[in-house]
Amino acid sequence: MTTALVTGAAGALGRAIVRRLTADGHQVAALDRDAGALEGALNLKTDLRDPAAIEAAFAETAARLGPVGVLVNNAAVYPARPFLEVPLAEYDDVHAVNQRAYWLAAQHAARQMSEPGNGAIGGAIVNIASITMHGGWSDLAAYVATKGAAAALTRALARELGPREIRVNCVSPGAFPTAAEEIHPDPEAYERLVLDRQALQRRGRPEELAAVVSFLAGQDASFVTGQTIEVNGGWVMA
Ligand SMILES: NC(=O)c1ccc[n+]([C@@H]2O[C@H](COP(=O)([O-])OP(=O)(O)OC[C@H]3O[C@@H](n4cnc5c(N)ncnc54)[C@H](O)[C@@H]3O)[C@@H](O)[C@H]2O)c1
Q: Which residue's CA is minimally distant from atom 7 of ligand 1?
A: 130
Query: What does the mean pLDDT of the chain come to?
Result: 95
CA 216 – ligand 1 centroid, Å: 19
Query: Model-level pTM?
Result: 0.97
- In this prediction, residue 120 carries a pLDDT of 47
Using the atom order of ligand 1, give the atom closest to the CA of residue 131. 6
* 143 classed as catalytic: yes
Q: Does domain 3-231 have CATH number 3.40.50.720?
A: yes
Give the Cα separation of 161 and 187 in Å (integer): 42
- In this prediction, residue 29 carries a pLDDT of 98
34 ligand 1 Cβ < 6 A: yes
230 ligand 1 Cβ < 6 A: no
**202-230: pLDDT as tens digits:** 999 999 999 999 999 999 999 999 999 99
- Displacement of CA 202 from its chain's centroid (Å): 23
**161-205: pLDDT as tens digits:** 999 999 999 999 999 998 767 667 788 899 999 999 999 999 999
Give the Cα separation of 191 and 153 in Å (integer): 31
Give the Cα separation of 150 and 152 in Å (integer): 6
Using the atom order of ligand 1, give the atom closest to the CA of residue 177. 3
155 has a pLDDT exceeding 90: yes
- In this prediction, residue 146 carries a pLDDT of 98
- In this prediction, residue 118 carries a pLDDT of 53
**101-145: pLDDT as tens digits:** 999 999 999 999 998 665 546 999 999 999 999 999 999 999 999
- In this prediction, residue 186 carries a pLDDT of 87
Q: CB within 8 A of 124, min separation 6: which ones?
A: 69, 70, 71, 166, 167, 168, 169, 216, 217, 218, 221
**20-74: pLDDT as tens digits:** 999 999 999 999 999 777 889 999 999 999 999 999 999 999 999 999 999 999 9
CA 5 – ligand 1 centroid, Å: 15
CA 70 – ligand 1 centroid, Å: 18
140 ligand 1 Cβ < 6 A: no
Query: Which of 78, 91, 102, 143 is flagged as catalytic?
Result: 143
